[in-house]
Amino acid sequence: MTPGISAIDPVRDPAIANLAQGARGAAAEHALNPLRSAADDPIRFFLAGPTYVLHGVREAQRRPPVAHRSAEFRGAYERASAGLQQIFRTARPVITATGSATLLMEAAVVSTVGDRVLHLVNGAFAQRFHAISRAHGLDSDQIVVPMGQAVDPDLVRQALRRGRYDAVTLVHSETSTGVLNPLAELARVTREESDALIVVDAVSSLAGAPIETDAWGLDVVLTASQKALALPPGLAFAAISERAERRMAEVPRRGFYTDLVRYLDKHREGGTITTPAVTLFWAAEAQVWGILAEGIEARWARHTALQGRTIAWAADRGLQLPADAAHRSPTVTTIAAPPGRSAPDLVKALAARGFTVSSGYGDWKPTTFRIGHMGEVQTSDLEGLLAALDELLV
CB-CB contact of 79 with 8 (8 Å): yes
Residue 116 and residue 164 in contact, taking contact as beta carbons nearer than 8 Å: yes
Q: CA 78, CA 218: separation in Å to the nearest integer? A: 23
Closest CA to 184 of 196, 170, 174, 194: 170
- Residue 52 in any domain: the answer is no
In a domain, 384, yes or no: no
Q: What pLDDT does residue 16 have?
A: 47
Please, are residues 158 and 182 in contact by the beta-carbon 8 Å criterion?
no
For residue 161, what is the domain's CATH number? Answer: 3.40.640.10
The number of folded domains in the chain is 1
Contact 230, 36 (CB under 8 A): no
Distances in whole angstroms, Cα of residue 385 to Cα of each of 31, 300, 357: 22, 21, 9
Domain assignment of residue 186, yes or no: yes
Distance CA 17, CA 274 (A): 29
pLDDT of residue 33: 86
Nearest residue to 37 via CA among 290, 292, 299, 300: 290
As beta bridge partners, residue 96 has 237
Task: Give the H/E segment covering residue 303.
Answer: helix 296-316
Q: In whole angstroms, what is the distance from residue 2 CA to residue 110 CA?
A: 29
User: How high is the pLDDT of residue 58?
Assistant: 97
In whole angstroms, give the CA distance from residue 376 to residue 368: 24
- Contact by Cβ (8 Å): 169, 187: no
Distance of alpha carbon 44 from alpha carbon 173, whole angstroms: 22
Q: What is the distance in angstroms between the CA of the first residue and the CA of the last residue of the chain?
A: 47
Domain membership of residue 318 (yes or no) is: no
Q: Cβ of 135: how many Cβ atoms within 10 Å?
A: 11
Residue 255 CB-density burial (10 A; 0-12 exposed, 13-18 middle, 19+ buried):
middle
Cα–Cα distance, 86 to 94 (Å, whole number)? 10
Is the entire prediction scored with pTM above 0.85?
yes
Supply the Cα-derived Rg of the chain in whole angstroms. Answer: 21
Residue 136 inside a domain? The answer is yes
What's at 313, amino acid-wise? W
For residues 60 and 285, give the distance between their C-alpha atoms in angstroms, rounded to a whole number. 9
Give the count of beta carbons closer than 10 Å to the beta carbon of residue 320. 14
Give, for all 394 residues of the chain, the pLDDT tens digit.
Answer: 444 444 444 434 444 444 444 443 433 344 478 889 999 999 999 999 999 999 999 999 999 999 999 999 999 999 999 999 999 999 999 999 999 999 999 999 999 999 999 999 999 999 999 999 999 999 999 999 999 999 999 999 999 999 999 999 999 999 999 999 999 999 999 999 999 999 999 999 999 999 999 999 999 999 999 999 999 999 999 999 999 999 999 999 999 999 999 999 999 999 999 999 999 999 999 999 999 999 999 999 999 999 999 999 999 999 999 999 999 999 999 999 999 999 999 999 999 999 999 999 999 999 999 999 999 999 999 999 999 999 999 8
Q: Please report whether residue 244 resides in a domain.
A: yes
Residue 31 resides in a domain: no
> Using CA atoms, how far apart are residues 37 and 55, in angstroms rounded to an integer?
8
337: CB partners within 8 A, 6+ apart: 319, 343, 346, 367, 368, 369
Residue 367 within any structural domain of the chain = no
Domain that holds residue 173: 71-291
